[in-house]
Structure 1
Amino acid sequence: MRQASGTLRRETPGQGLHDITREVAQWVEAQGMAQGLLTLFCTHTSASLLIQENAAPAARADLERYFARIAPEDPTAYAHDDEGPDDMPAHLRAALTQVQLTIPLNAGRLALGTWQGIYLFEHRRRPHRRTLALHLIGE
């Protein structure tokens, strides 16, 4: 068994689902393992990770609209607004999704389905620099 760890940094232009599948797959490939398990961890409280539809942009837009409805930017609804009106809604959206993913590695490739992609879900309106920790264990 071997282990590898690394960091992926991604600039986000603002809110939305940002496809990071290619960057993650390139990092995994560079580790030279055939079988294993990848863990990704988002080190932020106002962004999250999702495995989601990668072919139909409308599916991603619907997800973004859904989260805007269930955690709206409403200054009268929250006490926490240290960084602006999108601050607390961003924390709620991250709490409702996930900050870590675990993906099997088979034959040197991430075991994603045909229509699955890995997304960094930015919940803040302004651009941010996000950091993901990657850990791969396998052989």
Structure 2
Amino acid sequence: MSAAFHTTTLEVHTGRRECVRNLTGDCEGFLSSIGAREGLLNVFVPHATAGIAVIETGAGSDEDLLDALGDLLPRTDRWRHQHGSIGHGRDHVLPGLVAPHATLPVVSGRLALGTWQSVLLVDTNRDNPDRTVRLSFLG
């Protein structure tokens, strides 16, 4: 049995505010469009200031994530990496805490997520309002 590889990119407008964007529907749509059955989906954001998280959304969890990141990585001028808006250096530390990728199992053509889990783009960079996300399926 040979493995099939499919890939595409999403262009996501995140705006000039910190945000958490739900990509679960986009991931499911991609899997459906290629007729995926069993395999792995890799979600990757090729930016130095964004990450991919798999957590619950709704009920405030996405805002809680941004608040926690704000506590851990305050938007101040303390960062050595300084260009762009005040505190932009913390955006470059973000991928050390929220990895720029996630690899997820695909079973029967669907993401094998837990009941409340979603695939999220986490973007704290106010200076870059547009992101590219690469979806790659191997199955």
Q: Structure 1-normalised TM-score?
A: 0.91
Aligned to 2:52: 49
User: Distance between the aligned counterparts of 2:116 and 2:70, measured in 1?
Assistant: 24
> Could you report, residue by residue, the CA deviation over 1:60-92 in whole angstroms, capped at 9, with x for unpaired residues?
2111111101110111x1222211213111111
The 4+ residue runs of structure 1 with deviation greater than 4 A are: none
Sequence identity (%): 26
SS at match of 1:43: coil
SS at match of 1:119: strand
Question: Structure 2 regions of 5+ residues with no counterpart?
Answer: none
Quote the offset at 1:55 in angstroms. 3.5
Quote the offset at 1:134 in angstroms. 1.5
Task: Note the aligned Cα RMSD (angstroms).
Answer: 1.3
Aligned to 2:4: 2
> Could you report, residue by residue, the CA deviation over 1:29-49 in whole angstroms, capped at 9, with x for unpaired residues?
101021111111110011110
The question of whether the paired residues in 2 share the 8 Å contact of 1:15 and 1:126 is answered with no
Aligned residues: 136
The question of whether the paired residues in 2 share the 8 Å contact of 1:19 and 1:119 is answered with yes
Aligned to 1:123: 124
Aligned to 1:66: 68
Question: Structure 1 regions of 5+ residues with no counterpart?
Answer: none
